[in-house]
Structure 1
Amino acid sequence: MTSSPADITAIVVAYDSAEVLPDCLAALAGEGVGALVVDNASGDASAAIAERWGARVLRNGANEGYGRANNRGARAADTPFILIVNPDLEIGKGAVAALLAAAEAYPDAAAFAPRLVEPSGRVFLQPRSLLSPDHLNRARDIVLPEGDACLPFLSGACLLLRRDVFLALGGFDPAIFLFYEDDDLCRRLREAGHALVHVDGAEARHGRGRSSAPSAARRFTARWHLAWSEYHVARKHGMRLPGPMRIVENGAKTIGYGMILNQDKMMAHAGSVAGALAARAGRSALARQGLDKAEPRP
């Protein structure tokens, strides 16, 4: 049976995303896709804006992070497909039809991603990853596929997934608050025997970093989780852990930027140090965020 946009629930995780949500939701509505917005306790009008645009809204009492919030949305959806969409992303015209056509053409595949076009016009592609075998990480130049292509990793910024497969794998790793959730999911999908397809005929415009307003404190938190998650996924998949010299280097940069009063970069590198130290000490990302409710880890 041919699938239609009615067979898709778009899951949009919002956190202080009021500025970008209208364009995101308008693009989804233009493609005939219903949206489910999971609001991570935003301090702005994100939830209200989502409701005004006709989206179903689930409100989290605290910021649950990207993966955990998407997991909640996937469980609440009742369609065969879910479309993970960052709030700063606008799905292009005809992209949903192209993604669904790929899902029918490649029944062994479980994940499908469009070409992601950044504001500069650059096409973002993710052929390399911390979780990729070394032989797939050697190419210096990124070669864009000509036509549909199986790739080892796809970006979680926009990802069509077969909902039953996603839930059977446990969704995104709930131990991760932020970063490497999509890499980890892609690796687990491949290990379970599912292909991942980059769909050349589908396009989406990605704002990259416009999901919420920047601040020095958020830079610290983001870099904390980036460093912590790198240790977490390395341990999980039996890979070599980052060396202690990286902590030393980030510590030196923290001091250096502090001396020239560059608060943003100082806080970013301080976050990297703190996240790495926490990971090495066995602290969890969820404990840092004060999240007591634990989901089963996939």
Structure 2
Amino acid sequence: MSAAAVTAIVVSYDSAQVLPACLSALAAEGIGAIVVDNASGDASAEIAARYGARVLRSARNEGYGRANNLGARAAATPFILIVNPDLEIQPGAVAALLAAAEAYPDAAAFAPRLIEPSGRVFLQPRSLLSPDHLNRARRIVLPEGDACLPFLSGACLLLRREVFLALGGFDPAIFLFYEDDDLCRRLREAGHALVHVHGAEARHGRGQSSAPSPQRRFTARWHLAWSQCHVARKWGLPPPGLGKVVENLAKAIGYGLLLNRDKMHAHAGSALGALAGRAGRSALARQGLSEKPLL
């Protein structure tokens, strides 16, 4: 298969600083890109167009999974490549992912080795949605070749578009976090394998997609805690304990007294997001979004 079989989907939100490297790396591999811009306040959309991407502009920040669903629906190729804007695909990686797709027809998702700025290989062998025996603490052993894994990171993920659409894409109730864990669980439940491809590599900036601020830390931690409650309920698992909520509230108060706004906002977001999730409140309503799926 050639690169013409793939469309990259890149969701941007104030990602102007990292988009040029991301889109340049995709173009070097011959991959066309759709950039779904989540109402950025910077020049993300203009930069994406300048680098040859097709740009879909959202009137509001729709969140990560929902925006990727929009991009997947707009694509017309048999494969889509989910790519974070702070990720640079390395030479030959897409060809290796497509070769794996041909070699493993029962698999629906394929991920490259993700290299962090420190040089560490990021691997996600455990998850809230894993069976207990897979979540026991132990040293992470990196695969020495292609390997089936229970979960793959959504930072860079080649997907069979038809399968992705048939499953409804990423869970549209989630604004941010755990979209990839939930998708991987649904893919496995539907009988599809997930393959970590040793011969493909991508460089991931981790957290460099948009500039940090105390309010963004609050929002991110709110959604992380909310999404943990949501996926736990969805899959019949116990929600995170109230003890953690109390701990985060206490830390928020403590850091507030110390005038550490960043950590105060982070812990307050974790506590309030967990409380909202346990109460069954909607993450989309918090963001002023419609509950109607975008896929």
Q: Which residue of 1 aligns with 2:21?
A: 23
CA deviation vs aligned residue, 1:28-48 (integer Å, no higher than 9, x gap): 000000000000000000000
Q: Which residue of 1 aligns with 2:45?
A: 47
Percent identity of paired positions between Structure 1 and Structure 2: 82
Q: Which residue of 1 aligns with 2:89?
A: 91
- SS of residue matched to 1:245: helix
Q: Which residue of 2 aligns with 1:150?
A: 148
Distance 2:28 2:150 in 1: 30
* Residue 139 of structure 1: how far off its partner (Å): 3.9
Moved over 3 A (4+): none
Q: Does 1:256 align with 2:254?
A: yes
* Residue 243 of structure 1: how far off its partner (Å): 1.2
- Whichever residue aligns with residue 238 of structure 1, its letter is G
Q: Which residue of 1 aligns with 2:60?
A: 62
Q: Which residue of 2 aligns with 1:284?
A: 282
**TM score, norm. by length of structure 2:** 0.99
* Residue 231 of structure 1: how far off its partner (Å): 0.3
* Residue 248 of structure 1: how far off its partner (Å): 0.4
Q: Which residue of 2 aligns with 1:212?
A: 210
Distance 1:209 1:296 in 2: 25
**TM score, norm. by length of structure 1:** 0.98
Q: Which residue of 2 aligns with 1:75?
A: 73
- Whichever residue aligns with residue 160 of structure 1, its letter is L
Q: Does 1:201 align with 2:199?
A: yes
Any gaps of 5 or more consecutive residues in structure 1?
A: none
* Residue 296 of structure 1: how far off its partner (Å): 7.8
Q: Which residue of 1 aligns with 2:188?
A: 190
Distance 1:9 1:296 in 2: 19
1:260-279 correspondence runs (5 A): 260-279=258-277
Residues 173 and 291, structure 2, Cα contact 8 Å, conserved in 1: no
The aligned length equals 295
Distance 1:296 1:135 in 2: 36
* Residue 125 of structure 1: how far off its partner (Å): 0.2
Q: Which residue of 2 aligns with 1:133?
A: 131
* Residue 293 of structure 1: how far off its partner (Å): 4.7
* Residue 281 of structure 1: how far off its partner (Å): 1.9
Distance 1:196 1:164 in 2: 15
Distance 1:189 1:139 in 2: 25
Any gaps of 5 or more consecutive residues in structure 2?
A: none
Q: Which residue of 2 aligns with 1:11?
A: 9
* Residue 161 of structure 1: how far off its partner (Å): 0.1
Q: Which residue of 2 aligns with 1:167?
A: 165
- SS of residue matched to 1:130: coil
